[in-house]
Amino acid sequence: MTQRPGLAAAGVALVAAALAAFLSQRVFEGIPHVSDAVSYAFQGRILASGHLYLPPPPVGEAFAAQNVIVTNDRWCSKYPPGFPLLLAPGWLLGAPWLVNPFLLGLAVYGVYRLGRALYDEPTGLAGAALLAISPFALLMGAGFMSHVPALAVCTWCLVALVEGAASGRPLPLAVAGALGGFAVMVRPLTAILLLAPAAAWCLWKRHRAGLAPRALFLLSAGFLPLFAGFLAYNRVLFGDPLQLGYQVYSPGEGFRDEAAQPLSPLALLPKRLAWYFNDLNAATWGWPFGDLLPIAALLLPRARRTGDGLLAACAACLVVGHSAYAYYDINHSGPRYAFEALGALSLLAARGLLHLAGIAGRWLSRRRVERIAPAAATAAAVLLAIPPLGSRLPTFAKRLARAYHGHTLAPLLREADVGVGPDALVLVSGSVPASGSDTALFNYGSFFLRNGLDPTTSRRVYAHDIAPLRDAILEAYPRAQTWTVHVEFEPIPLEDSYTDNCWKLTRIDWRRVR
C-alpha cells in the first residue's frame, strides 16, 4: 500500500475523470445521447445566460423536445435545477461535456474520504479504485445524466455526516446539511432515500453524546437555505413551491401502467428488487463470479463491521425505494436508478476483498511463504481490473457509440459538405423504428441544442418538419436558405438489456428547399 494514500486517491480520481472525458468524446461525441440529458443541458444553457426560463419561441411545436416544457409564457426543462446549475459553468467555458467527468472524479475521491472516515485509508483507496474501474460509472460519467452529480454530492454529504457525527464540530454538520439540500435539488427522491439513513445515524450518534438538538440545528442551518431556494425555483417556474416540473410536463404521469391502470408499489417491489440485484450483480464491474459476491465476505468470521451497516442501509434504502417506483430503466449499460449506490457498494466490495486478502495473508504466513504476498496481491488486483476495463468497458463503449437513443452528430457533420449556409432554416424529420418510438422526436435532440436561446434572432435554426405547420414555420423564421434533413434508422437486434435503444443509422438525406 502506498505511503501517500491521499495522493494516490487523487491520482485514481484524475484517471477516472480523464477516462470518462475520453469516452464522452469517443463514444458520445461530446453531446447528450438521451432525451433526459438534452433537457438538462438545455436548462444549463438557460441558467448560464442568467435566466431561469425563456419566453416560448414562435410556433413552439416546431421546437418540441422530450422533457422540455413549452407553455404560453415559458420554455424550460422539467427537471430540478441542481444539475443544470452545475452544467452552467461548463456552458460558459464552452465545454459542458467535461462537467460529468469532473464530477465523477470528485465522487471517486469522495469515496476515498468516506472510506477513510469510516474505516481506514487502505479501505478508502481500494473503494475509490473500484469505483474508478466500474464501466457503469465511467460510461455514466461520460454522459449528461444527473446521476453522476447526485453520486458526487451525496458521497461528500456522507463524508460530512460521518465526520460530523464523530467530532460534533459545527462545520462538517452544516456542510452536510447544505450538501443534502443541494442533493435534493439534483435528484429529490434519490437524495432522500440514500441520505436519510445516514442523517438518522448521525443524529443517533450525537444523541448518545447528549448533543442531538445541536446537531439537528446545524444540519437544518445548512439544509434549509438550499431547500428554500428549491421551493422558490419551483414556484417561479412551475407555479407552486411543492410542484415539480414532472407534474407540469405530464400531469397524468405516475404509478400507472401502459393501460393507465394504477400500479401498486408493493406489487412492484418483489420483481424490481430481483431485477436490481441481478443487474447490479452483473453491470457494476462485470466479474465472472458476480459483482456483489465480495460483499458476502463481510459475513465471514473476524470481519470488522464498523460502518458496514450504514453503507448497506443507504444502498438498500435507495434500491428498495426505487423498486417501488413506477419505472425501471437501463441506461449507459446499467440500472440507472441504483447508480448512486455505487459509492457505498464500492466500499463494501473493497471491505470484502480486503478481508479475503487478510485471510489469504494469514494462510500464507502460516506456511511461511508470506514473501509472495505482495506479488499475489498485485496479481489479484490486475485480475480484478481485467473484466471491467479489458472486456466489459470496450464492449459496451463500442455498442453505445452507435445512434444511442437516436442521437448522433452524423447529420450535422455533413452540413458543410452539402452546402448549408450560416443563415439557414433546417427542417428535421426522421423514421419510426419497429419499437414504435418516435425517432424524429429522439433524433431532433441532436439538433435542438444547436439552436440559439432565441431562435428568432439565430442565424441558423433547426425545427421539426411538421407538414401542417410548415408555412407558419417559414413565416416565423425567414432565412436566406431553407433545408430539410431526413434521418432514418433501423432497430438493431437486442444484444442484451444493457444496450437497448441502440439504432443503426441507415440514411441521411439533406435537401435544399429554397
Q: Do the beta carbons of residue 141 and residue 100 sit within 8 Å? A: yes
| Separation of alpha carbons 8 and 14, rounded Å | 10
**β-strand pairing of 460-464 with 481-491:** unpaired
23-49 residue pLDDT tens: 999 999 999 999 999 999 999 999 999
Task: Check residue 50 and report its DSSP letter.
Answer: T
Return the residue matching grid coordinates 454529504. Answer: 157
244-260: average pLDDT: 69
- Under the banding of pLDDT at 50, 70 and 90, the label for residue 57 is very high
Task: Check residue 367 and report its DSSP letter.
Answer: T
Count of beta carbons in the 10 Å neighbourhood of residue 390 = 12
What pLDDT does residue 257 have? 47
78-103: average pLDDT: 98
Cell numbers at 195, concatenated: 441520505
What pLDDT does residue 302 have? 66
CB under 8 Å to 133, separation ≥6 — which residues?
285, 385, 388, 389
- Under the banding of pLDDT at 50, 70 and 90, the label for residue 263 is low
Give φ, ψ of 380 to 5 degrees.
-65, -40
Return the residue matching grid coordinates 421546437. Answer: 63
- Under the banding of pLDDT at 50, 70 and 90, the label for residue 371 is confident
Cell numbers at 185, concatenated: 435539488
Helix (H, G, I), strand (E, B) or coil at 482: strand
What pLDDT does residue 299 have? 87
The CA dihedral of 199, 203, 208, 212, to the nearest 10 degrees, is: 170
Q: Of 38-42, 475-479, 487-491, which range is least confident?
A: 487-491
* pLDDT of residue 510 exceeding 60: yes
Count of beta carbons in the 10 Å neighbourhood of residue 216 = 17
**β-strand pairing of 481-491 with 424-430:** parallel
Task: Please give the model's pTM, rounded to 2 decimal places.
Answer: 0.95
| Separation of alpha carbons 11 and 382, rounded Å | 17
User: Which has more confidence, 254 or 158?
Assistant: 158
What pLDDT does residue 455 have? 96
Closest of 203, 323, 326 to residue 275, by C-alpha: 323
What pLDDT does residue 34 have? 93
What pLDDT does residue 412 have? 95
Q: Is the dihedral of CA 162, 166, 172, 175 positive or negative?
A: positive
Query: How open is the CA angle 26-130-357, to the nearest 5 degrees?
Result: 145
Percent of the chain exceeding pLDDT 70 equals 94
490-501: average pLDDT: 84
Render 233-250 in DSSP notation, one character per residue: HHHHHHSSTT--HHHHH-
457-485: average pLDDT: 96
59-81: average pLDDT: 95
206-218 residue pLDDT tens: 999 899 999 999 9
What pLDDT does residue 372 have? 78
* pLDDT of residue 96 exceeding 50: yes
What pLDDT does residue 258 have? 44
Give φ, ψ of 12 to 5 degrees.
-60, -45
Q: Where are the beta strands (DSSP E) in 278-400?
A: 330-331, 334-335
What pLDDT does residue 251 have? 80
Q: Do the beta carbons of residue 307 and residue 114 sit within 8 Å? A: no
Task: Check residue 437 and report its DSSP letter.
Answer: -
Inter-helix orientation angle 308-323/265-283, to 10°? 120
For the chain, the average pLDDT equals 92
**Single-letter code of the amino acid located at 250:** S
Return the residue matching grid coordinates 424490481. Answer: 272
CB under 8 Å to 157, separation ≥6 — which residues?
176, 179, 180, 183, 195, 198
Q: Do the beta carbons of residue 143 and residue 339 sit within 8 Å? A: no
Cell numbers at 33, concatenated: 445521447
CB under 8 Å to 167, separation ≥6 — which residues?
none
Element (H, E) at 284: none
* pLDDT of residue 260 exceeding 50: no
* pLDDT of residue 434 exceeding 60: no
Give φ, ψ of 171 to 5 degrees.
-60, -50
* pLDDT of residue 374 exceeding 90: no
What pLDDT does residue 131 have? 98
In terms of average pLDDT, the best of 110-114, 246-250, 491-495 is 110-114
Cell numbers at 372, concatenated: 509472495
* pLDDT of residue 377 exceeding 90: no
- Under the banding of pLDDT at 50, 70 and 90, the label for residue 497 is confident
* Phi-psi label, residue 290: left if phi above 0, alpha if psi -120 to 50, beta otherwise: left
In the chain the first and final C-alpha atoms are separated, in Å, by 68
- Between the alpha carbon of residue 377 and those of residues 16, 124, 353, 380, 389, the distances in Å are 22, 17, 11, 5, 18
Q: Of 171-185, 254-268, 330-344, 482-496, which range is least confident?
A: 254-268
Q: Do the beta carbons of residue 442 and residue 480 sit within 8 Å? A: no
42-68: average pLDDT: 96
What pLDDT does residue 363 have? 78
Give φ, ψ of 179 to 5 degrees.
-65, -35
Q: Do the beta carbons of residue 489 and residue 503 sit within 8 Å? A: yes
273-285: average pLDDT: 96
